[in-house]
Amino acid sequence: MLNSYSADQKHKFDLTYVQDCSESEKQQIIDKFGVPAPLLEYEDDKDEPARIEIGTENNYVLMVFWAPIKGSSHSEPVSVIFYDHKLFIFTSSEMEVINETIESLWQQSYEKRMAFLLDLILPIVRKYIGRVSKLEYQADQIQSHLSARSKMKHLDDLTLINQDAVYLRSAIQENASCFEEIKSIPQGTDVPFDKKCNRKLHNVQLETNQADRMIGLISESVEQLSDTFDRLINNNLNEIMRFLTIWSLLLAVPPIVSGFYGMNMHLPLANGSLAWLASLVLTGILMLALLIYLHNHHSV
């Protein structure tokens, strides 16, 4: 879906933003606005890295950063093109925070495209902080239920949290590098950068650094929780193996006693009507002696 907004009294530039850009819309942008075709080659690439690219003659500035998609910790790239005093933004329909913010920001007055873009980026960064806070809450919930009886479901949940943290951390750190490069845009381009834009960029970087610190702490916390779960699982496994070992030793005594009394040879207490009772008593004494021995040697 292609949306175009023309310059007016409140805006000193034209804005065109496209959701889920199709091939026909790419051609329309090339024909109508004269945007070089190579700039649109990677618009449908979901793995496009965050970066800033400047034309050899300073005739355009391409900026790619990441934004979260709806209902997921995954992110997708947003492409922004400064060309011929116009602003082009390419998004996904699943990036509801961007699409809603563009509509809201256009109701305000903007002289510079960079100021508009930085105000658009700020809620995206805050959206990441919200996603990170949600992961932090989930990790705290798992930690509060951490005990020797922790279930495998908790470990599965922890694995999902760790996976989401990896996705978020990658996107946040790539964005941080991209936003830092904004300062390197040369003055020879048609993207003026004044003190007002510098303040907006400072706010964006502060929020991005906060998100980066938070996701770093969560990653460390999840790693520690995973190590704790591993130790608990190993301890539980050791307890089970010790239990089985002790019972296997105890249950080995009756076959030994009954085996001796089943031989065709003279044994004490083998004669008489109470010989079976004597064998049971002897078996019980031997099992009790073995249990006492294991207990004294810290095996029980």
Residue with more model confidence, 217 or 277: 217
Task: Tell me the backbone φ, ψ of residue 16, rounded to 5 degrees.
Answer: -135, 120
Q: Which of 38-42, 48-52, 226-230 has the highest mean pLDDT?
A: 48-52
Tokens of 72: 């997921």
| DSSP 3-state of 176 | helix
Taking 60 as the threshold, does the pLDDT of residue 138 lie above it? yes
Instruction: Provide mean pLDDT across the span 189-198.
Output: 78
Tokens of 9: 């009294």
Taking 60 as the threshold, does the pLDDT of residue 139 lie above it? yes
Tokens of 124: 């995206």
Task: Using pLDDT thresholds of 50, 70 and 90, give the confidence band for residue 207.
Answer: very high
Residue 70: exposure state from Cβ atoms within 10 A (0-12, 13-18, ≥19): exposed
pLDDT at 300: 55
pLDDT tens digits along 2-32 = 777 787 888 888 888 888 888 888 888 888 8
- Contact, 47 vs 170, CB < 8 A? no
Output DSSP code: residue 298. T
Residue from 287, 295, 230 nearest 253 by CA: 287
pLDDT at 202: 92
pLDDT at 151: 59
Output DSSP code: residue 85. T
Residue from 251, 231, 254, 245 nearest 300 by CA: 245
Output DSSP code: residue 222. H
pLDDT at 270: 61
pLDDT tens digits along 53-100 = 888 777 888 899 998 888 778 888 888 988 888 889 988 888 877 878
pLDDT tens digits along 143-184 = 777 665 555 666 777 788 888 888 899 999 999 999 988 888
Residue from 49, 48, 58, 81 nearest 185 by CA: 58
Q: Which of 34-43, 122-131, 203-212 has the lowest mean pLDDT?
A: 34-43
- Contact, 109 vs 38, CB < 8 A? no
- Contact, 16 vs 28, CB < 8 A? no
Residue 250: which residues within 8 A CB-CB, separation 6 or more? 287, 290, 291
Instruction: Provide mean pLDDT across the span 115-124.
Output: 91
The strand pairing partners of 53, in sequence order, are 62
Tokens of 63: 């900026």
